[in-house]
Structure 1
Amino acid sequence: MSKIKFGVFPAKNNGAKRKEMVFAPNPLSLSVPEPAFESWLRDSGYLEILDQRTTDLNRLPAATKPSNSAAAAAASDSAAPSISPDGVFFISQIVSGIWTLLSLFTFSPFSKLATDDFSGETPSWTLAFFGSAESYSFPSSPSQARLRVHENVKRFARNYASLIVLFLACSLYQLPVALLGLISCLALWDAFKFSGDRWGLDKYPVFRQTLIRVAQCVTAVILFISNVQMAIFCALGVSYAVMILHASFRKLTPAKQLDVRGGHKKTARR
């Protein structure tokens, strides 16, 4: 009795002398489409597998291109001088990398950010945030870059917020006039709040609103004269560029692994 594999049926041979057994297609033999499989990985939390899978899929065409170098070299002997296949491949890689970096500025990295992402504990700066040299790689496609940015911004939201404050403090340190203007604005509003509570300005809403408008105008003049907006713009610009580059080059690692490395390992309840 011949053995029949599960999921396929043997086709009729009609008296042919062939010894091989031909199997007819069976509708029970199903395969999962690529978009559905990627959606399942994303919904199940296996983002690191999806990240590595995207890199491997984009490396497949690159591995097959050098195999045609011999035929291209033979054809180049009889044809006019042209760019070698290696040069074309190198130029295409550069153009693809530039396009991937430019695509980082075409979407909002904060679209999936929630307030709960700032309520947890700050991941470790050494092992979780910076990691090692193996924790970084160039994104192979714009879709992979967007996936990394969205996930890493959620994971390292508190780290990026600390970097923004650090860059703002450094920019104000380089501009003492802007630092003095910012302190003056904070002192002005603190004095306004103290005076309002002491004099009972809540009983005079019209007069209170007039004082608020005057304080706003004075604050705008102080910020403009002391050039505080330039310091804030520089701090936000530098911190945004650092965040985008780090989030796009940082590989996605399992969230449980980050918790264990950061010293926040949770034990299951019995």
Structure 2
Amino acid sequence: MSKIKFGAFPAKHQSPNKKGMVFAPNPLSLTVPEPEFESWLRDSGYLEILDQRTTDLHRLTAAAEAEAAASKPASSSAAANSIAHIGVYFVSQLFSRIWTLLSLLTFNPFSKLTTEDFSGDTPPWAPVFFGSLESYSFPSSASQARLRVHENIKRYARNYASLFVLFFACSLYQLPAALCGLILCLALWEIFKFGADRWGLDRYPVIRQTLIRLAQCVTAVILLTSNIQLAIFLTLGVSYAVILLHASFRKLTTVKQPTAKR
């Protein structure tokens, strides 16, 4: 088990030993197991550090494997084995990445989303939401992808909601019949509200409930005949795909930590 150690100090008036060590163990040093350290990072809100550690570890592991493959003897049989090893490595990496993307469909990305995430200000689009090319990287594992998705959806909930409205408007633009059906439904209920207030239908609850049920049936017929369900389906599919891809590829950036109350 790899451990994180804090508090080692150089020994005074001590010459290097045979192994070249010039540091003496500090009896007051703190040794924290890596799983507990990662758990502390999660609980403290420093998820960007955990995300960066996972990315760096994956990059160093891939570089070490590539260097080990390149340092093998250059004989004909060794070269053939090296090529086969590289081919197997790339195929395994390809299937690993495909599995990472497919794993995004096996969990609920909105499970940690709350109504408070929509109450704040909308993060700026260019410098924060989209970022730069350095703000994106392929998640090295399914757990890292889930971590990014859950946190990014909470951070950019208002941005994703705006994108959903934009995609729905584009779907209605591509389907004029659905747009006309939606406008007709809204006009129908506005007319019903105006007529109920004008004629005082609140004094006749039976007639009012009958007209409401009739208006609901007419609305359902209009929605079905105008194919507005197709526009909603396209909007949900495109929005869900964009949210998962952006949230999983977008690196976690540093956010302002809450100050401790005294």
Greater RCO (CA < 8 Å, at least 6 residues apart): 1
1:82-140 CA-to-partner distances (Å, cap 9, x unmatched) read 96111111111101110110011111111111111111111111101111111111111
Q: Where in structure 2 are the equivalents of 1:75-154 lying within 5 Å? A: 77=77, 84-154=84-154
Match of 1:250 in 2: 250
1:137-188 CA-to-partner distances (Å, cap 9, x unmatched) read 1111111111111111111111111111111111111111110000001111
- Is the 1:54–1:140 contact (alpha carbons within 8 Å) kept by the matching residues of 2? yes
Moved over 3 A (4+): 25-30, 70-76, 80-83
Match of 2:192 in 1: 192
Match of 2:211 in 1: 211
RMSD over aligned CA atoms reads 2.8
- Going from structure 1 to structure 2, the CA distance change for 1:196 and 1:27 (only over 3 Å counts) comes to farther
SS at match of 1:112: coil
- Is the 1:72–1:85 contact (alpha carbons within 8 Å) kept by the matching residues of 2? no
Q: Distance in 2 between matches of 1:211 and 1:54?
A: 60
1:55-95 CA-to-partner distances (Å, cap 9, x unmatched) read 123334323323543686679828x9796111111111101
SS at match of 1:31: strand
Percentage of matched positions with identical amino acids: 73
- Is the 2:72–2:82 contact (alpha carbons within 8 Å) kept by the matching residues of 1? no
Q: Distance in 2 between matches of 1:167 and 1:69?
A: 47
Q: What runs of 5+ residues in structure 2 fail to find an aligned partner?
A: 1-6, 9-17, 20-24, 258-262
**TM (normalized to structure 2)?**
0.81
**TM (normalized to structure 1)?**
0.79
Match of 2:228 in 1: 228
Q: Distance in 1 between matches of 2:193 and 2:167?
A: 29
SS at match of 2:210: helix
SS at match of 2:32: coil
1:123 corresponds to which letter in structure 2? P
SS at match of 1:153: helix
Say which one has the larger Rg. 1
